[in-house]
Amino acid sequence: MKIRAGYRIAFDCQNPMPIHLMLSVHPDRRHDLITPDTLRVDRPEARITQLVDGFGNLVTRVAAPAGPITFASDFEIADSGLPDPQVLDARPTAVEDLPADVLPFILGSRYCETDRLSSVAWSRFGQIEPGWARVQAIVDYVHERIEFGYHHARPTRTAEQGHEERTGVCRDFAHLAVALCRSMNIPARYCTGYLGDIGVPYSPSPMDFSAWFEVYLGGRWMTFDARHNKPRIGRIVIARGRDATDVAITHTFGTAWLTHFEVITEEIPAQALMAAE
């Protein structure tokens, strides 16, 4: 399967400022790129550099001039076309045996307050067999607990607040599921990326980036999605971190007004591929 994806995001900067972007396809999927995922900027005087952060994500740093600036990319990527794998017999790894790079993902973080959700987690899921079944029970609970709606979005909502308010967007589903997993010593990390309407009914809502999470089971990271609660096709990961703080797609260090936001994620139909050939 081939997928076309990309974005067009514009700001009006009130003064010269640094802008950090986390919009590039993650390094572990870049070998699947068919056409380059290259950032285009309409202000040639903007100075651009790129680095890899402590979580292995690609970060683009822009020294933006005052005034309007637009960032864009449009690329094609190969995908297996298979849904998220399910390994129902996956077992947990004891905390004392976790690799060093996994340890940060059993701790509380800005949006995932394990200290405030631990009693909820153990009272609801403590009797469920550790491993895949326990994580799936958490996913089921979060999926039913939170009502999705873009009008519910709030950038400061934490996992505990999402649990109590019972409303949110995809990041709130991910934060609550991550916090409940970590409360039970299950390593979990927050993910952001592209997820189009592939293999599911078309949604008329504007396309956006999506959030899901990964859990360390059976010695590797596995994908879960509390918002959709079903295996999906065509995820393209951009970044992973402890929570949304680590993977903000844009971070402006000054006053900048968002003037345009557009995301594209769609399967390239087989007939289009044949015509191109």
The pLDDT score that the predictor gives to residue 160 is: 98
Classify strands 147-148 and 167-168 as parallel, antiparallel or unpaired: parallel
Residue 226 domain-assigned?
Answer: yes
Taking CA atoms, 149 is separated from 60, 68, 103, 243, in Å, by 30, 30, 33, 20
Q: Is residue 274 over pLDDT 70?
A: no
The tens digit of pLDDT for each residue in 51-71 reads 999 999 999 999 999 999 999
Q: Is residue 272 over pLDDT 60?
A: no
What residues contact 82, with CB distance under 8 A and at least 6 apart?
233
Shared domain for 41 and 116, answered yes or no, is no
Shared domain for 176 and 49, answered yes or no, is no
The tens digit of pLDDT for each residue in 153-177 reads 999 999 999 999 999 999 999 999 9
Shared domain for 199 and 166, answered yes or no, is yes
Model confidence band, residue 276 (pLDDT cutoffs 50, 70, 90): low
The pLDDT score that the predictor gives to residue 61 is: 98
Shared domain for 58 and 142, answered yes or no, is no
More confident residue, 205 or 26: 26
What angle do the packed helices 114-125 and 170-183 form, to 10 degrees? 70
Average pLDDT taken over every residue of the chain: 95
The tens digit of pLDDT for each residue in 57-109 reads 999 999 999 999 999 999 999 999 999 999 999 999 999 999 999 999 999 99
Domain count, the chain: 2
Residue 58 domain-assigned?
Answer: yes
Shared domain for 123 and 24, answered yes or no, is no
Rounded average pLDDT over 213-236: 97
Residue 115 domain-assigned?
Answer: yes
Residue 132 domain-assigned?
Answer: yes
Residue 62 domain-assigned?
Answer: yes
Q: Of the candidates 61, 74, 85, which has an alpha carbon nearest to the alpha carbon of residue 33?
A: 74
Model confidence band, residue 275 (pLDDT cutoffs 50, 70, 90): low
The tens digit of pLDDT for each residue in 121-150 reads 999 999 999 999 999 999 999 999 999 998
Is residue 21 within 8 A of residue 253, CB to CB? The reply is: no
Shared domain for 58 and 112, answered yes or no, is no
Whichever domain contains 224, its CATH number is: 3.10.620.30
Q: Is residue 277 over pLDDT 90?
A: no
Shared domain for 268 and 153, answered yes or no, is no
Residue 86 domain-assigned?
Answer: no
Residue 88 domain-assigned?
Answer: no
Q: Which two tokens stand for residue 76?
A: 């094609």
Residue 20 domain-assigned?
Answer: yes
Shared domain for 99 and 150, answered yes or no, is yes
The pLDDT score that the predictor gives to residue 57 is: 98
Rounded average pLDDT over 219-248: 97
Q: Which two tokens stand for residue 201?
A: 């009914």
Q: Which structural domain, as residue segments, surrounds residue 168?
A: 95-238
